Amino acid sequence: MEKIEQKFVGRIRGVQGQIAFIECEGSYKPQLNELLTSIEDDSVRLEMHEYKSSNEISCLLLSSAKKIHRNMKVVSTGSQISVPVGDEILGRVMNLYGDAEDGLGPINSSERKSIYDSKTFSSTRKDLSKTELMETGIKVVDFFTPIVRGGRVGLVGGAGVGKTVLINELLRSITNSSEGVALFAGIGERIREGHELWNSLKENDVLKRTALIMGHINKNAAVRFRTAWAAAALAEYFRDVKERDVLFFVDNIFRFLQAGSELSTILGEIPSEFGYQPTLQTEIADFESRLASTDKAYVTSIQTVYVPADEFNNPTVAATLPHLDTVVILSREIAQQGRHPSVDPFKSRSSVLTEDAIGAEHYKAVTRSIEVLNQYEKLSRIVTIVGEEELSVENQKVYQRARKLLNYMTQSLSTTAIYNAVPGVSVSRKDVVSDVKAILDGKYDKIPEEKFLYIGNLKSIGK
């Protein structure tokens, strides 16, 4: 923690949950969000929240309650929470305060940035009308939900449908093909997942251009909530000061908003109609607005959104989706069928799925695919009752081609290779469009549908 000029504030008089109450005894009055500590132990961290009276303040307790006691003297650090910035953070893992968590020693950066130091770029926001697609090598994503450079992407789904696997795969594949830096914010996720991600990035030689900031699920609500602001501050620095493109990954946006809800309850705020914090819409809007692309550089953000109990009407999910350019819905039903990535092409959407953005050939292939899959959904109900043999010859062709298309969209990923020993494959968007067109045109009608499962492009199975 950076020390400036410490000014005496007062003494701790009580603690309620994650709120510490301080009686002001000195002449100095701390400002909102100012970081306080203790003369006895500088690992104690308190953030000024509000004045209860002229001589009593309440603070968010960011460190363990075991470190403080009644009458402990509190001083101000003279600054807000800040994180180290610069190329020195690349290849490193840090916490909310910029302390290293990778066992590689302290992060030796000469510059720090407040996590609240955001600016408004309404006059310099990048015009994304001229789209530039970013290929991921993942067939179902590039075909049905293409990602645009500078856009915001949401990987949305319930527990266990593959959100973390998919974001890790995208982090590896996109960072490899990009010249910018990558930032990963782990908010409310498991420590094991962070360790696995670190090892994966290191093995794929991506770690040296990636910085990771973690607020794991075992941290208190204030730390998890503020981790999102810290990550946004890092993105702003590389975008505005270094003028470098940023790939911004967040796992998980729901945990960020959930931490805000917990914090709101602790602070005694009146909840909204559905039990969440009254500032829910403002918090997600403030966060997303900090990830804007400017004339200096792009910020492309990819965020996982957990859907509690698979209820897509949950207020946190409903508040997040309007801010996203591309929404990739991961389906539990598809995952249970053994199809991964379990992307639902019907519910997913992308703002760049237009003929001008993706080209006439791709647009026509997507349109035909959706039509065929719609027919397949209707025919599936009939097949369930009377069997496939009762369909007309033409409907049988549609049904079989749709199943082959769905099987073709399955794919082995590098992220899961450590578990199933199956090497990951990458397929170009051009090949995917060509393969889909060939399937729909009937060029592979004689090939059994099971041959299309977990392959790369169609060259591997012949005709």
Euclidean distance between CA atoms 260 and 218, whole angstroms: 15
CATH 2.40.10.170 fits 7-80, yes or no: yes
Catalytic residue among 3, 119, 190, 202: 190
Told to judge if 47 belongs to the known catalytic residues of this protein, a careful annotator would answer no
CATH for 359-460 is 1.10.1140.10
Q: What is the pLDDT of residue 324?
A: 95
How many CB atoms sit inside 10 A of residue 16's CB?
11
Output the pLDDT for position 87.
93
Distance CA 225, CA 185 (A): 11
Q: Which residues pair with 60 in a beta bridge?
A: 19, 47
Q: Which helix (H) or strand (E) holds 124?
A: none
Partners of 82 in the β-ladder = 114
Which tokens sit at 187? 């908010």
pLDDT at 123: 41
Which residue ranges make up each domain of the chain? 7-80, 83-353, 359-460
Question: Which two tokens mark 350?
Answer: 């992308």
pLDDT tens digit at each of 463 positions of the chain: 444 457 899 999 999 888 899 999 978 889 999 999 998 998 899 999 989 888 899 999 998 888 999 999 999 998 999 999 999 999 999 999 999 998 899 999 889 999 986 665 544 555 555 678 999 999 999 999 999 999 999 999 999 899 989 998 999 888 887 888 999 999 988 888 888 888 888 887 888 899 999 998 888 889 999 999 999 999 999 999 999 999 999 999 999 999 999 988 888 888 887 788 899 999 999 999 999 998 889 999 999 999 999 999 999 999 999 999 999 999 999 999 999 999 999 999 999 899 999 999 999 999 999 999 999 999 999 998 888 888 899 999 999 999 999 999 999 998 888 778 788 899 999 999 999 999 999 999 999 999 999 999 998 786 5
Rounded Cα distance, 129 and 463, in Å: 40
Length of the chain equals: 463
Query: Which one from 47, 135, 189, 288 is the annotated catalytic residue?
Result: 189
- Phi-psi group of 11: left, alpha or beta (phi > 0 → left; psi -120 to 50 → alpha; rest → beta): beta
Reference 436, options 371, 344, 340, 375; nearest CA is 371
Contacts of 9 (CB under 8 A, 6+ apart): 22, 24, 25, 26, 28, 30, 36, 57, 74, 75, 76
CATH class of the domain at 83-353: alpha beta
Is 163 one of the annotated active-site residues of the chain?
A: yes
pLDDT of residue 462: 63
What integer pLDDT is reported at residue 18 of this predicted model?
86
Q: Where are the beta strands (DSSP E) in 178-320?
A: 181-187, 210-215, 246-251, 299-306
Taking each helix axis from N to C end, the angle separating 280-289 and 221-240, rounded to the nearest 10 degrees, works out to 30
Query: What's the pLDDT at 3?
Result: 45
Question: Any idea what DSSP says for residue 450?
Answer: G
Query: What does pTM read for this prediction?
Result: 0.91
Q: Give 125's contacts (C-beta < 8 A, 6+ positions apart).
A: 292, 293, 294
Question: b/e per residue, 117-147, with b = 16+ CB within 10 A?
Answer: eeeebeeeebebeebebbbbbbbbbbbbbbb
Q: What is the DSSP letter of 43?
A: T
Residue type, 401: R
Partners of 294 in the beta sheet?
Answer: 125
Q: Which of 163, 172, 224, 255 does the annotation list as catalytic?
A: 163
243 exposure class (CB count in 10 Å sphere: 0-12, 13-18, 19+): exposed
Q: State the pLDDT at residue 2.
A: 45
Q: Are strands 7-16 and 73-80 parallel, antiparallel or unpaired?
A: antiparallel
Label the pairing between strands 46-53 and 34-38. antiparallel
* Start-to-end Cα distance in the chain: 64
